[in-house]
Structure 1
Amino acid sequence: MGFKIAVAGATGNVGREMLTILSERGFPADEVVALASSRSVGTEVSFGDKTLKVHNLDTYDFSDTDICLMSAGGAASLKYSPKIGAQGCVVIDNSSAWRYDAEVPLIVPEVNPDAIVGFTKKNIIANPNCSTAQLVVALKPLHDRATIKRVVVSTYQSVSGAGKDGMDELFNQTRAVFVADPIESKKFTKRIAFNVIPHIDVFMEDGYTKEEWKVLAETKKMLDPKIRVTCTAVRVPVFIGHSESVNIEFENEITADEAREILREAPGCQVIDKHENGGYITPYESAGEDATYISRIREDATVEHGLNLWVVSDNLRKGAALNTVQIAELLVNRGLIKAKKQAA
């Protein structure tokens, strides 16, 4: 008998993607329930060739549900996840609400799968920030080979990272440019159409933004607390797909050719790196794909053991929905949970 899965925040971009990926990957679910806030109750969402009606997250009983994929936002997760976990349902949360809790594992299955056993403390597992997820997938095999000392990353993040409102704003502003209409900025601090904005999330006291801090904190938690990380996060006028320019300094020698071969064999990675026009990946090409793509692998002659990489992935999939489903698969494949109906 299969599992009963709930998707909370099922009407959002990531929630819909979770439903799509559950179906695509043939997750062993006998029942899938779509949940959202009261204003979305009765809305229909797609799950494979089926249509699901959305139920009210606030009143839903999780006592017979095995896993809840939570994509309803940080405030909702703080409110609901402990209650859901207390009912014996494992929450895999896509927000930042639980990522820095010492009793909640932060998981990318290709990077730190063994850390998942800690979920039993609160019945909550955290999914990392979208830009961190693809970064650590690329860093992990290189760290295992040559030990990373320092990472300098600049992110070029698509507007879908800001949700449907961000995508709508790019579309509306782009259309306004072509028809000479006034341009309105509501979601972003400045115009995003034909522009880039070096600001994602709120500013912190040290001048970094919260988005930049997340990359630092999450990389250390999942990969190695000794790695020094600095980040600049930039919003770009792309609908789907985050890109990153990554400069890495290692303790030990590693060549670009070695890195290329290591990454070709690494789980979740796909190397597209030809020294010719178009011999690299762009975010447009990553949309709808599961892999973390690595291009422009080259040695950095300004440090003793350094490499530069270009890393691209679909932020709605590996950066959010896909990684969440992979965590659920990890729970099942390692026998860490049993279906409640089967156990009964």
Structure 2
Amino acid sequence: MNVAILGATGMVGREMIKVLEERNFPVDTLKLLASRRSVGQTVMFNGKEIGIEEANDQSFNGMDFVFGAVSNPMAEEFAPIIVKAGALFIDNSSAFRMQDAVPLIIPEINPKDAYKHQGIIANPNCSTIIAMMALHPIQKRYGIKNVVACTYQAVSGAGQEGTQELLDQIKCSVNGDPAVPKVFAQPIAYNVIPCIGAIEENGYTSEEMKMRNEGRKILHQDDLNINCTCVRVPVLRSHSIAMTVKTNSEVNLDQIRKDWAKAPGIGTLPKDRSYPTPLDSSDQDLVLVGRLRNDLNHPNKGVSFWCCGDQVRKGAATNAIQIAELFVK
């Protein structure tokens, strides 16, 4: 397979390179594309050094797959060129997610939707992937009416710049210097910021609406009520989500645990550990679940739980590679 990564020098792009190698994806040619300022950099892949190339209209000729890890405007610019070249564009931006003609795929949940593509498949938002992975087994067995979620999202969700801002502000605090925010709206060191994305007319942020809208599309449930608050926290890697779910039928906690244990991509904890943390889920692909309990307001038809997942891997890079694997198996 001939593969290109558009945005190969960013955090997600670099992770895609790593995941391709780890999963032994059948790569004959790997083309690493970025902006002009990255030309000259090299990256190791399968023991070989590959140079970064500037992306242009001719970059995608002969490619089978193009993985996108770029901004919405760049994804929108190159998408028609990629499709015209005959490659499948698996895009991590939000540009195409809610378009009817573009499948929005989590391979463990709705793989059949992928085969309806017209040249573009969208990768869901990172927190959406983590949440839906945990919700899907509950939906399959009991049906879901309502979800209330609160996310605790790592700074690396804002890219390398977000990670560096947290580290810099911690140093400023130790040295007694003022922490001046650049990436985030407020200082993030020793703080939490209950606003990710632009605030929309309904008072919810774009990040919060992504989980509602994308979740409905992925789970094929247009009437699913998802109410979400997204919070940026001073954690380097892995998002965490607290969720309360109201179901259609009576729940059994032991059965949910069994369903989670059988579900691909879900990790459960030993009995002496009731909950995962971001450190547990970082640098791996499982979404970890725990703290399962009955909802006190709806004890027979409701549960609350906690989950964690690496938003750079399963929330982005790994999910994209898994989508491509649907077409090579």
Deviation at 1:285, TM superposition (A): 1.7
User: Which residue of 2 is the match for residue 271 of structure 1?
Assistant: 268
User: Which residue of 1 is the match for residue 164 of structure 2?
Assistant: 168
Residue 185 (structure 2) aligned to one of 178, 183, 189: 189
Deviation at 1:42, TM superposition (A): 1.6
- Size of the alignment, in residue pairs? 327
Say whether 1:28 aligns with 2:26. yes
Residue 81 (structure 1) aligned to one of 74, 79, 93: 79
What per-residue deviation string (whole Å, max 9, x for no partner) do you get for residues 270-313 of structure 1? Answer: 11264x5x542100121101101001011112114001110100
Distance across 1 between alignment mates of 2:279 and 2:21: 24
Say whether 1:245 aligns with 2:242. yes
Say whether 1:13 aligns with 2:8. no
Is 2:57–2:78's contact at 8 Å kept on the other side of the alignment?
A: no
Query: What are the equivalent positions in structure 2 for 1:205-216 lying under 5 Å apart?
Result: 205-216=201-212
What per-residue deviation string (whole Å, max 9, x for no partner) do you get for residues 104-138 of structure 1? Answer: 0000000100101111x2x0000000000011111
What per-residue deviation string (whole Å, max 9, x for no partner) do you get for residues 174-219 of structure 1? Answer: 1111111221100101110011000001110010000000000000
Distance across 1 between alignment mates of 2:258 and 2:153: 27
Distance across 2 between alignment mates of 1:167 and 1:299: 36
Is 1:148–1:227's contact at 8 Å kept on the other side of the alignment?
A: yes
Residue 234 (structure 1) aligned to one of 231, 253, 269: 231
Say whether 1:290 aligns with 2:285. yes
What per-residue deviation string (whole Å, max 9, x for no partner) do you get for residues 299-335 of structure 1? Answer: 11211400111010000000000000000001212xx
User: Which residue of 2 is the match for residue 306 of structure 1?
Assistant: 302
Distance across 2 between alignment mates of 1:92 and 1:16: 15
Is 2:266–2:289's contact at 8 Å kept on the other side of the alignment?
A: yes
User: Which residue of 2 is the match for residue 339 of structure 1?
Assistant: none
User: Which residue of 1 is the match for residue 276 of structure 2?
Assistant: 281
Distance across 1 between alignment mates of 2:30 and 2:206: 34
Deviation at 1:23, TM superposition (A): 0.2
Indicate the percent of aligned positions where both proteins have the same amino acid: 41
Deviation at 1:59, TM superposition (A): 4.3
Is 2:66–2:88's contact at 8 Å kept on the other side of the alignment?
A: yes
Residue 108 (structure 1) aligned to one of 101, 106, 109: 106
Distance across 1 between alignment mates of 2:47 and 2:233: 34
Deviation at 1:141, TM superposition (A): 1.2
Is 1:38–1:58's contact at 8 Å kept on the other side of the alignment?
A: no
Distance across 2 between alignment mates of 1:73 and 1:176: 30
Deviation at 1:84, TM superposition (A): 0.5
What per-residue deviation string (whole Å, max 9, x for no partner) do you get for residues 23-70 of structure 1? Answer: 000001111110001111121123242221001112443221100001
Q: Which amino acid aligns with 1:200?
A: I
Is 1:4–1:64's contact at 8 Å kept on the other side of the alignment?
A: yes
- TM-score normalised over the length of structure 1: 0.93
Distance across 1 between alignment mates of 2:244 and 2:58: 46
Is 1:94–1:320's contact at 8 Å kept on the other side of the alignment?
A: yes
User: Which residue of 1 is the match for residue 254 of structure 2?
Assistant: 257
User: Which residue of 1 is the match for residue 312 of structure 2?
Assistant: 316
Distance across 2 between alignment mates of 1:60 and 1:184: 42
User: Which residue of 2 is the match for residue 326 of structure 1?
Assistant: 322
Distance across 1 between alignment mates of 2:242 and 2:64: 39
Distance across 2 between alignment mates of 1:320 and 1:166: 16
Distance across 2 between alignment mates of 1:291 and 1:70: 22
Query: What are the equivalent positions in structure 2 for 1:105-184 lying under 5 Å apart?
Result: 105-119=103-117, 121=118, 123-184=119-180
Is 1:20–1:48's contact at 8 Å kept on the other side of the alignment?
A: no
- TM-score normalised over the length of structure 2: 0.97
Is 1:147–1:251's contact at 8 Å kept on the other side of the alignment?
A: yes
Distance across 2 between alignment mates of 1:279 and 1:80: 46
Aligned-partner SS, 1:108? coil
Distance across 1 between alignment mates of 2:270 and 2:297: 22
